[in-house]
A and B are shown apart, each in its own frame.
Chain A
Amino acid sequence: MVAQVTMKDLQSPVEPTWCPGCGDYGILNAVKRALVQLGIPPHQVAFFSGIGCGSKLPDYIRANGFNSLHGRPVPIAQGFKLAHHDMVVIVVDGDGDNYGIGGNHWLHVMRRNINITHIVQNNMVYGLTKGQYAPTSMKGFVSSTSPEGTIEWPINPIAIALAAGATFVARGFAGDPKHLADLIAKGIQHKGYALIDVFQPCVIFNRINTYDWFRERIYKLEDDPNYDPHDKRMAWEKAHEWGDRIPIGIFYINEDLPTLEEQIPALSEKPLYQHEIPPKLEDLEALKLMFV
Chain B
Amino acid sequence: MTKNSVNIKLGGEAGQGVESSGMGFARAIARAGLHIFGVQDYMSRIRGGHNWYQIRVSERPLFAHEPKIQLLLAFDERTVHDHLHELVEGGAVIYDEGLKVDEDEIKSKGVIPMPMPLLKLAEELGGSKLMLNTAAVAAAAGILEFDLSYPESVIRDSFGRRKGSEIADRNIRVANAAYEEARRRYAHLFEWKLEAIPDAPKKMVLNGNQALGLGAIAAGCKFCCGYPMTPASSLLEFMFAQARRFNLVVRQIEDEIGALLHAIGAAHAGVRAMTCTSGGGFSLMVEALSLAGSTETPVVVVVAQRPGPATGMPTRTEQGELLFTLFAGHGEFPRAVLAPGSVEQCVYEMARAFNLAEKYQMPVIVLTDAFLANSLRSVDMDAIDFRKITENIDRGKLILPHEHEKIDEALKDGYRRYEFFEDGISLRIPPGHPKAIYSVAGEEHTPEGFIDWEERADNRVKMMQKRMRKLEVAVSDMKLPQLYGPQDAELTLVCWGSSLGPTLEAMERLNDNGVRTNLLQFIDIHPLDWESVADILANCRRWVSVEGNYSAQLSRWIRMNTGLKPAGTVTRYDGRPLNPVYIVEQLQSLLVKV
Q: A84-B430, A87-B432 are in contact. Are A284 and B269 (CB under 8 A)?
A: no
Chain B interface (Cβ within 8 Å of chain A)?
Answer: 31, 202-206, 210, 214, 217-220, 222-223, 225, 242-249, 251, 253-255, 257-259, 261-273, 287-288, 291, 295, 381, 384, 386-387, 389-390, 393, 400-402, 430-434, 436-443, 449-451, 453
Q: Which of B248, B389, B390, B402 contacts A274 (CB 8 A)?
A: B402
Q: Closest CB of chain A to B277's CB: distance in Å?
A: 14
Q: Find out whether the CB atom of B222 lies under 8 angstroms from the CB atom of A272.
A: yes
Q: How many A-B residue pairs have CB under 8 A?
A: 204
Q: List 14 A-B contacts (CB under 8 A).
A: A17-B453, A56-B451, A65-B449, A72-B288, A76-B265, A79-B261, A79-B273, A81-B265, A104-B255, A107-B254, A275-B222, A279-B220, A284-B214, A292-B381
Q: Find out whether the CB atom of B437 lies under 8 angstroms from the CB atom of A69.
A: no
Chain A interface (Cβ within 8 Å of chain B)?
Answer: 14, 17, 41-44, 46-48, 51, 56, 58-59, 62-69, 72, 74-84, 87, 104-105, 107-108, 264-267, 271-275, 277-279, 281, 283-285, 287-288, 291-292
Q: Give the distance in Å from the alpha carbon of A44 to the alpha carbon of B271 in the complex.
A: 17
Q: Find out whether the CB atom of A284 lies under 8 angstroms from the CB atom of B218.
A: yes
Q: Find out whether the CB atom of B223 lies under 8 angstroms from the CB atom of A82.
A: yes
Q: Find out whether the CB atom of A78 lies under 8 angstroms from the CB atom of B265.
A: yes
Q: Find out whether the CB atom of B431 lies under 8 angstroms from the CB atom of A87.
A: yes
Residue in B closest to A17 when the chains form the complex, CB atoms: B453
Q: Closest CB of chain A to B55's CB: distance in Å?
A: 16
Residues of B within 8 A of A80 (CB): 265-266, 268-269
Q: Find out whether the CB atom of A278 lies under 8 angstroms from the CB atom of B218.
A: yes
Q: Give the distance in Å from the alpha carbon of A74 to the alpha carbon of B469 in the complex.
A: 31
Residues of B within 8 A of A275 (CB): 222, 247, 271
Q: Find out whether the CB atom of B430 lies under 8 angstroms from the CB atom of A273.
A: yes
Q: Give the distance in Å from the alpha carbon of A69 to the alpha carbon of B261 in the complex.
A: 10
Q: Find out whether the CB atom of B254 lies under 8 angstroms from the CB atom of A105.
A: yes
Residues of A within 8 A of B225 (CB): 79
Residues of B within 8 A of A292 (CB): 31, 202-205, 381
Residues of B within 8 A of A84 (CB): 269-270, 430-432
Q: Give the distance in Å from the alpha carbon of A65 to the alpha carbon of B223 in the complex.
A: 21
Q: A63-B437, A79-B266 are in contact. Are A291 and B223 (CB under 8 A)?
A: no
Residue in B closest to A62 when the chains form the complex, CB atoms: B437
Q: Give the distance in Å from the alpha carbon of A74 to the alpha carbon of B257 in the complex.
A: 11
Q: Find out whether the CB atom of B440 lies under 8 angstroms from the CB atom of A67.
A: yes
Residues of A within 8 A of B206 (CB): 291
Residue in A closest to B287 when the chains form the complex, CB atoms: A69
Q: A64-B439, A284-B390 are in contact. Are A83 and B270 (CB under 8 A)?
A: yes
Q: Find out whether the CB atom of B437 lies under 8 angstroms from the CB atom of A291.
A: no
Residues of A within 8 A of B262 (CB): 75-76, 78-79, 82
Beyond A76-B264, A265-B247, A287-B242: 4 further Cβ-contacts under 8 Å? A75-B262, A108-B253, A265-B244, A273-B270
Q: Find out whether the CB atom of A273 lies under 8 angstroms from the CB atom of B245.
A: no
Residues of B within 8 A of A74 (CB): 258
Q: Find out whether the CB atom of B400 lies under 8 angstroms from the CB atom of A66.
A: no
Q: Which of B219, B257, B272, B440 contacts A66 (CB 8 A)?
A: B440
Q: A67-B443, A291-B210 are in contact. Are A72 and B432 (CB under 8 A)?
A: no
